[in-house]
Structures are given as structure tokens and as C-alpha cells.
Amino acid sequence: MTTVLQTDLTKIAAKVEAGERLSFDDGLALFESDDIFAIGRLAALANQRKNGDRVYFIHNRHINYSNVCKNTCKFCAFSKKEEDTGAYTMTIDEIMDKAREMKGSDFSELHIVGGLHPTLPFEYYTEMLRSLKAEFPEVHIQAFTAVEIAHLAEVSGRSYREALEELVACGLGSLPGGGAEVFAPEVRDVVCPEKLPGNKWLEVMRTAHSLGLKSNATMLYGHLESKADRVRHMIHLRDMQDETGGFQTFIPLAFHPKNTQLSDLHFTTGLDDLKTLAIARLMLDNFDHIKVFWIMTGLKVAQLALLFGVDDIDGTVVEEKITHAAGAETSECLTIDELVRLIREAGKTPVERDTLYNVRKVYVS
Ligand code: V47
Ligand code: SF4
């Protein structure tokens, strides 16, 4: 058994070294191998070629404008029905106040996502963007997952394209990568049956990319999906990236089970987190960046991930509700000094970027 796995990795190693694309079988063999150091070394090589020693972070703030959602995804501890205790929807003024807390800090991004609110009008979203842009013209607004965009299009009777065009005109800068979950329909049917299907998620992204918008892509792992589902998910994204080139970064999201309908499942392990990030780096040869969302993996695994093919550690975040509702024990914010220290200690060069990966500051030692 061990010999077979070693042989498989030898072939894969040769492909990676030659810069050849890995197949579905290669991806599965990597997941089936327990040689985490070999996988990590290969991913580190693939990353070194793309990003050298640079590790990116961003000075940002998350705003989760509402937890009211018409869906009840089984992996979600964040969403509430309007009548539930703890349900909230921020007014535009409250959203502005959250952004104003960052004033004077030279932050570069607002990352805004929320539930699929059943009654908020389209104008709520356009006013949110316009008000933020009027007061923070230099700040990039990365907002609304593909699932939210499809919902806004539906409630307002617009096509994906029309909805996106209007949001861009009001200040939308790019789309975050959430809502992709795992594309496998048989898993989606169980864990999030009401959610936008995977092919529609991809269609929203295709439309966004055709308008010149950049976006991220995610995969929620560690619930009911198989390793083959993870590899297929990555290949769907790779195919689409060949077509549009609009994805900036891939972010595997580690499932947190607490307070969800899947609370009998375990948290992901550090090994699974590292392996998934490293395999993502190897499979997604046409993605420039692989991001570890430290909020979900914890700081210690996030730092180790920088030696396993990851070149982006996300950002200061400031306030995060989705993972914390589901049992995340990380803090909700990090200072730039802390991010820089974590990256330096891993032997890498910290680089503050903006949302579109323009360099704001290189921290030379
Ligand atoms: O779409 C929901 C996931 C996503 C849980 O684009 C959960 O840069 C873990 O997409 N355990 C929202 N994950 C967050 C997201 C994101 C985060 C950071 C950066 C970026 C980016 C995107 O969180 C949801 C869903 O896939 N999620 N519940 C949970 N219990
Ligand atoms: Fe709603 Fe998103 Fe939670 Fe699903 S994951 S229930 S769509 S907030």
C-alpha cells in the first residue's frame, strides 16, 4: 500500500516539477496519501514559482449587514428568521457607523456579506454602496456572494447582468468567493437544498467576470463531501478560470459544526486543513493566489499553511459573525503588526495588498 502511494506521488512530483497540469486522479491520490510533507513541499514549490517569498495580507473590515435569511443551510449557525431572537438587519446608518470605526486607519477594503433577506428592496443594497462610496471613495467594496447576487436579481426582477451592472455603478468593486460550498449536487441537496445550485453560482461568476469584475472562489470542506467531491469542485473552478481568468484567489473554508444542524460532525483537523490548502495550490495551477482564512483555521495552522503553498493570510477582519456563530475560537481581529510577525516568523516577506493585489507596502526586514 505504502509503495503504491509513494509511486503515485513520484509521478505527481514529476508533473509538478515540469509544470504540468494535474488530473482528477492525481488530486485524489494526493488526498489519499498521508505523506503530508511531500504534498507540502510540492505545493511550496508551485507557490514559490508564482509568488516567491511574498505573503499577502489586507487591511480590511468585514460587515455582515443582516443575518436574516430565507434559506436554512444545515452547515450555517449564522442565519435567523425575521421573527427569531437574535435576528438583526443593520440600517444604512448602522453600516456607515461600522465603516466609520475604521476612519483614520488607512484601511483599503470593506468585505460585506449577509443572509438572503426575504423583503429588503434592491434599493437597500444600492444605497448601502452609494453611501459608503460617498464617504470612503478610496476604499474598495468587495460585497455580496454570487448567491446574494442571484437573490437580488430574483427579488428585483433583474437578470444577473443587470443587477451586477447597477451595483457596480453604485460602487461595487469585486465579489467575495462565498456560497460555492461544494458543487456536488448530491451533497448540496443534503446540506443546502434551497441554495443556488453550483452551475448557477458559476454562471453569476461568469457574468461578473465578463463585466470586468474580479472575484474570489471558496470551497466549504469538512462536512458531508467526499475527497472526490473536493477535487471535482477545484476542477470546476479551474475550468472556469481557463475560460474567464476572473478569479483572484481560492479560499478553502473549514467547516465549523457548533450550533448548526450538522453539530454531530467534528471540527476539521490541522492536517486536513494543511492538506486541503496544499492540494488546492497544486490543482489550481491557473489561480495566482491561495488564501488561508485565519479566522477559520486558527492562527497556528494559518501560519504553518504559509509553508504548504499558501501565499495569502487574509486580513485584519475586525468583526466576523459567520464562523463565530458556529464555534470559532479565534479572535475576530488581528493588528497589522501581528500579521506581519506571523508572516516574518515563517521566513516570508509580508506584503500589504489591496483587494486587487496591488502592493500597498512591502515589509522589508
Ligand atoms: O458562504 C457558513 C461559509 C461563507 C459556515 O472571498 C461556513 O475573500 C465554516 O465566503 N463553518 C462566507 N464556514 C465566508 C466567505 C469568505 C470568508 C473570507 C474571505 C472570503 C473571500 C470569503 O462561509 C459562506 C459559507 O460557505 N460558512 N457557515 C460554518 N459553519
Ligand atoms: Fe443563508 Fe448563507 Fe447561512 Fe445558507 S449559508 S443559511 S444562504 S446565510
Supply the pTM of this predicted model.
0.97
- Statement: residue 6 has pLDDT above 60: no
- Statement: residue 2 has pLDDT above 50: no
What are the boundaries of each domain within the chain? 53-362
Q: Is 215 in the pocket of ligand 1 (CB under 6 A)?
A: no
Q: Is 71 in the pocket of ligand 2 (CB under 6 A)?
A: yes
pLDDT score for 177: 98
Closest CA to ligand 2's atom 5: 76
Q: Which atom of ligand 2 is nearest to the CA of 195?
A: 7
Q: Tell me: the pLDDT tens digits for 91-129?
A: 999 999 999 999 999 999 999 999 999 999 999 999 999
pLDDT score for 330: 85
Q: Is 116 in the pocket of ligand 2 (CB under 6 A)?
A: yes
Closest CA to ligand 2's atom 4: 73
The amino acid present at 175, given as its one-letter code, is L
CA–centroid distance, residue 7 to ligand 2 (Å) = 42
- Residue 274 is placed in which grid cell? 494543511
Range list of H helices, the chain: 2-18, 24-32, 36-51, 92-100, 122-135, 146-156, 160-170, 185-191, 198-210, 227-244, 270-283, 294-297, 299-305, 322-325, 336-345
Mean pLDDT of 45-61: 97
CA–centroid distance, residue 15 to ligand 2 (Å) = 39
Q: Is 276 in the pocket of ligand 1 (CB under 6 A)?
A: no
Q: Tell me: the pLDDT tens digits for 194-233?
A: 999 999 999 999 999 999 999 999 999 999 999 999 999 9
d(CA 130, CA 146): 20
pLDDT score for 365: 74
Coil, helix or strand at residue 146: helix
- 28-64 burial, b for 16+ CB within 10 Å, e for fewer? bbbbebebeebbbbbbbebbeeebeebbbbbbbbbbb
pLDDT score for 3: 43
Mean pLDDT of 174-191: 98
Ligand nearest to the CA of 148: 2
Provide the percentage of residues in the chain whose pLDDT is more than 70. 98
Closest CA to ligand 1's atom 30: 256
Ligand nearest to the CA of 247: 1
Q: Which atom of ligand 1 is nearest to the CA of 218?
A: 10
pLDDT score for 7: 55
Q: Which of 71, 262, 321 is the best mutation target for the ligand 2 pocket, counting ligand atoms within 8 Å of the beta carbon and taking the most? A: 71
Q: Is 47 in the pocket of ligand 2 (CB under 6 A)?
A: no
- Assign domain 53-362 to a CATH class: alpha beta
**What is the number of other CB atoms lying within 10 angstroms of the CB of residue 79?**
20
- Statement: residue 1 has pLDDT above 50: no
Helix, strand, coil content of the chain in percent (nearest 5): 45, 15, 40
Q: Is 131 in the pocket of ligand 2 (CB under 6 A)?
A: no
Mean pLDDT of 26-52: 97
Q: Which of 111, 218, 255 is the best mutation target for the ligand 1 pocket, counting ligand atoms within 8 Å of the beta carbon and taking the most? A: 218
- Residue 222 is placed in which grid cell? 469538512
Q: Tell me: the pLDDT tens digits for 286-307?
A: 999 999 999 999 999 999 999 9
